[in-house]
């Protein structure tokens, strides 16, 4: 249908909403995830992020002529769908009919993002504080200023709308820009998504790390590893204690009786551990730990059969030492003297 000067007749807001709801329901059935912009009251944005977006938008001279009509459209619920992705806004705006809007935004230059991070270094304590807008005015100014922050300036934005208006920025595109401000009230991280960066890059990680003096960390880990190896327990955070390789399991069979012989002598480490654990209860834990730390236990060296023979121990002698308990098998093919 043709209209005089291509303009459609005025349609009341209530009628537009009714038609838009029916049309969007059809699109939803075809697979579109409809995300309408809902604004309650006259204020389009209430959060720090949403307000900054709208304020910076209105300060750009290239946008001022069409923003008032767009603001009205946004307030009366005409933005029936808005999706925010990296470098792109796709929306559906209800006017005389439904109009499809696509706004593309140039990628944020890496040098500009590095400059923003450098200026904000040490001033953003947590991701929660960042997204809640609990930041100093200085940090918000750095992040939100057009041209050098995250909010794009007019030269970085390109508009496309299916309406007959030949203006670069029509009222439907302007309504979508205001819709972004409203959406940032509930999802401020979408500003970073739109510019293709991560908000976590701004978080000051130094504040959540425990300050440890140089050299203290390695010493603590060494002490934990020593106590863990003696008592056979895991003192959370300590370096893992190396364990002997597991022996291969053999098929179950009738148990063979071991030849009687003198009992094996308990290793010195086990004797020390038993002595410490059996200490009187009155002794303070700190004193026990100090006593254990003072004992330096040299790890027993392991030898192969060839090395034992080179030391002058024949195969018969090795068997005898195994029975006596002065020698033990550390793992398959390896032996260790028991002190």
pLDDT digit string, tens, across residues 181-205: 999 998 988 999 999 998 888 775 4
Does the pLDDT value for residue 248 go beyond 50?
yes
Residue 68 belongs to some domain of the structure: yes
Do 189 and 307 belong together in one domain? no
Do 201 and 224 belong together in one domain? no
For 122, left (φ over 0), alpha (ψ -120 to 50), or beta?
left
Q: What is the pLDDT of residue 224?
A: 46
Do 199 and 223 belong together in one domain? no
Contact call for residues 31 and 25 (beta carbons, < 8 A):
no
| Strand-by-strand arrangement of the 157-161 sheet | 79-85, 88-94, 98-105, 157-161
Do 74 and 96 belong together in one domain? yes
Does the pLDDT value for residue 176 go beyond 90?
yes
Residue 306 belongs to some domain of the structure: yes
Contact call for residues 82 and 217 (beta carbons, < 8 A):
no
The domain boundary residue, chosen from 191, 208, 225: 208
For residues 300 and 306, the model is more confident at: 306
Domain containing 320 equals: 216-234+263-337
Do 48 and 139 belong together in one domain? yes
Count of domains observed in the chain: 2
What average pLDDT does range 88-115 have in this prediction? 93
Do 195 and 221 belong together in one domain? no
Residue 245 belongs to some domain of the structure: no
Do 160 and 222 belong together in one domain? no
Long-range contacts of 20-28 (CB under 8 A, 24+ apart): 20/78, 20/80, 20/94, 20/98, 21/80, 23/98, 24/80, 24/81, 24/92, 24/98, 27/81, 27/92
Do 202 and 267 belong together in one domain? no
């Amino acid at each position: 249908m043709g209209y005089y000067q291509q303009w459609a007749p005025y349609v009341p807001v209530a009628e537009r909403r009714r038609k838009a709801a029916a049309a969007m329901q059809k699109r939803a059935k075809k697979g579109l995830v409809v995300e309408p912009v809902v604004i309650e009251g006259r204020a389009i944005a209430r959060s720090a992020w949403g307000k900054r977006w709208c304020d910076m938008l209105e300060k750009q001279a290239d946008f001022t002529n069409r923003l008032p009509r767009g603001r009205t459209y946004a307030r009366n619920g005409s933005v029936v769908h808005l999706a925010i992705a990296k470098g792109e806004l796709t929306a559906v705006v209800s006017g005389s009919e439904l109009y499809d809007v696509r706004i593309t935004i140039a990628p944020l230059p890496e040098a500009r993002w590095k400059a923003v991070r450098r200026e904000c270094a040490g001033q953003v304590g947590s991701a929660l504080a960042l997204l809640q807008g609990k930041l100093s005015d200085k940090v918000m100014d750095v992040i939100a200023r057009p041209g050098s922050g995250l909010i794009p300036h007019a030269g970085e934005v390109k508009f496309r709308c299916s309406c007959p208006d030949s203006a670069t920025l029509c009222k439907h595109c302007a309504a979508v820009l205001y819709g972004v401000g409203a959406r940032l009230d509930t999802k401020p991280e979408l500003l970073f998504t739109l510019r293709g960066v991560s908000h976590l890059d701004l978080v000051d990680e130094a504040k959540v790390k425990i300050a440890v003096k140089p050299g203290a960390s390695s010493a603590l880990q060494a002490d934990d590893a020593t106590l863990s190896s003696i008592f056979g327990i895991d003192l959370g955070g300590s370096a893992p204690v190396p364990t002997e390789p597991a022996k291969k399991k053999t098929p179950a069979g009738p148990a063979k009786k071991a030849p009687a012989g003198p009992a094996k002598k308990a290793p010195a480490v086990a004797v020390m551990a038993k002595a410490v654990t059996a200490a009187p209860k009155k002794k303070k834990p700190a004193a026990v730990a100090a006593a254990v730390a003072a004992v330096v236990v040299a790890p027993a060296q392991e030898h192969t059969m060839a090395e034992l023979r080179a030391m002058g121990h024949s195969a018969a002698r090795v068997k005898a030492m195994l029975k006596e308990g002065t020698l033990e098998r550390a793992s398959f093919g390896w032996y260790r003297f028991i002190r």
